[in-house]
Amino acid sequence: MLLGCGATLLCDHALASVPIDEQSFVPIGGIQQWVVIQGDDTTPAVLYLHGGPGEAQSPFLDTFAPWRRDYTVINWDQRGAGKTFEKNGEGTPDVTLRRLTEDAIEVTRHALNRLGKRKLILVGQSFGAVLGLLVVRRAPELYRAFVATGQFVNNALTMEYRERWARAQATASHDEAGLKALDDVRSLSINDWKRVAASRKWMMSPSDLEYLELQKNFAGPPDHRRPEARAWIEGYGFQSSKVGNESLAFDAMAEVPSIPVPYILIQGREDHVTPLEPARAYWEKVSSRGKAFAAIDGGHYACFTHSVQFLAAMRQQGL
């Protein structure tokens, strides 16, 4: 067991369970931001950092139902995304990794104050895993541990493994057009969006495609978007346009060589968006105050599509 009661971390206990289901705008970083707290005050608190950039989880809170059996889950629509974007619009200021890091720390303090706890568990998925590294580096005293899934390391390693996978799939299926598309971008920079896009056809595992049906059903067909989904779609594009290049240029190996809290990496074996091999290479190299690694079934969205395994991996570490 990496972590546990009576060791170096504080375990939260309460005498009686008090159900919590709060969904509201909270003043964070000078603007109103959407924060949801669901669970009860007897369970450890988890702050989930969504991916994307821009992939706010407010329309999909039911996906966290399995999590709420063990944890009180805090969901936050980040600056420029989801309901936070709907509230503030395209005039939302300062959508940068630096500001998002500061926002996440403010959301953490808000949740801890509301729940009467000293620390919480930070969980970041995909872009949220990048943000999570920056957050725990900045304010480690607020976090029991950082759990990363869909961990992006840097684009050089990501593209090396992603293009190798794409080429193998195209070759196996005799996809000449796909192979030509990969060949046509080989001379471009690995950070060129045309090169990034060329391998996308093969990125999503079968379970990822099943998960993405939630988003497709919520959004509606491209020519007839559902009114309630318009702000979510616009926010997805808005936050991506603001921090997409910044996050693509991020290099965990160089920028976050050490993590001042326990680092738990739980990666889907079929993740071809942020492949398992680079994520594990980073986990092996990084220094932290204790760490653990688990490869589970599923792809980029394994924390949702294979939540039983994901949550079991967290509990195995005493979280």
pLDDT tens-place string over residues 255-311: 999 999 999 999 999 999 999 999 999 999 999 999 999 999 999 999 999 999 999
Residue 43 near residue 91 (C-beta atoms within 8 A)? no
Residue 12 has pLDDT above 90, yes or no: no
Burial 122-133 (b: 16+ CB within 10 A, else e): bbbbbbbbbbbb
User: Residue 267 forms beta bridges with which residues?
Assistant: 295
pLDDT tens-place string over residues 116-137: 999 999 999 999 999 999 999 9
User: Residue 268 forms beta bridges with which residues?
Assistant: 296
pLDDT at 2: 39
Whole-model pTM?
Answer: 0.93
3-state SS, one letter per residue, for the chain: CCCCCCCCCCCCCCCCCCEEEEEEEEEECCEEEEEEEEEECCCCEEEEECCCCCCCCHHHHHHHCCHHHCCEEEEECCCCCHHHHHHHHHHCCCCCHHHHHHHHHHHHHHHHHHHCCCCEEEEEECHHHHHHHHHHHHCHHHEEEEEEECCCCCHHHHHHHHHHHHHHHHHHCCCHHHHHHHHHCCCCCCCCHHHHHHCHHHCCCHHHHHHHHHHHHHHCCCCCCCHHHHHHHHHHHHHHHHHHHHHHCCCHHHHCCEECCCEEEEEECCCCCCCHHHHHHHHHHCEECCEEEEEECCCCCHHHHCHHHHHHHHHHCCC
Domain ranges, ordered by start, for the chain: 19-155+248-316
CA angle 255, 56, 158 (to 5 degrees): 40
Please give the average per-residue pLDDT across 240-244, as a whole number.
97
| Of the options 1.10.3720.10, 3.20.20.480, 3.40.1080.20, 3.40.50.1820, the CATH number for the domain spanning 19-155+248-316 | 3.40.50.1820
Residue 13 has pLDDT above 70, yes or no: no
pLDDT at 17: 79
